[in-house]
Amino acid sequence: MRTLRITGLVVLLSLFGTTARAQADGPTPSSLMNDLCGCMGAIDLRAGDRTVEQGVRDCLEEAVLRYPSEVYAVLQHTPEGGSKAFRLGTALGGHLLRVCEPFHAVKARLQQMPLRKQGT
């Protein structure tokens, strides 16, 4: 189960470097997004790549575990196609880009990282 959850978070992490557009019509619960934005803002972007990546994973994992019903609501308003992790990452990433200023710096930092194969 943990391997599946981590794999999903890796997919979410990779989505933050894309320009995929999130579905704007669906609700994005505020407590989920507030906590996720606050967590993203607390990541030390001067740290090494692995530390920054782990910080993003920790933020995402904590948000998914803390707000499962809100995550479910977000998923219900995403277009079909792709895995749930992809759809959730697209929705959360798109919303964070619109409303979370600290996320812009996190996204830029993630885009500076070299691509790695999954599982490395």
Listing DSSP states for 19-60 in one string gives: -PPPPSSS---HHHHHHHHHHHHTS-TTS-HHHHHHHHHHHH
> Measured in Å, how far apart are the chain's first and last C-alpha atoms?
19
Give the model confidence (pLDDT) of 3-61 as tens digits.
Answer: 444 444 444 444 444 443 433 444 456 899 999 999 999 999 999 999 999 999 999 99
Does residue 25 fall inside a structural domain?
no
Nearest CA-CA partner of 108 in 34, 46, 57, 60 = 46
Distance CA 98, CA 82 (A): 22
Does residue 71 fall inside a structural domain?
yes
Q: 23: which residues sit within 8 A by CB, 6+ positions away?
A: 77, 78, 79, 90, 91, 94
Does residue 75 fall inside a structural domain?
yes
Does residue 120 fall inside a structural domain?
no
The amino acid at 44:
D
Does residue 49 fall inside a structural domain?
yes
Does residue 118 fall inside a structural domain?
no
Full domain range(s) for residue 96: 2-19+31-112
Does residue 119 fall inside a structural domain?
no
User: What's the total number of domains in the chain?
Assistant: 1
Does residue 87 fall inside a structural domain?
yes
From residue 14, how far is each of 8, 11, 30, 73, 95 by CA, in Å?
10, 5, 23, 22, 16
Predicted TM-score (pTM) of the model is 0.72
15 or 66: whose pLDDT is higher? 66
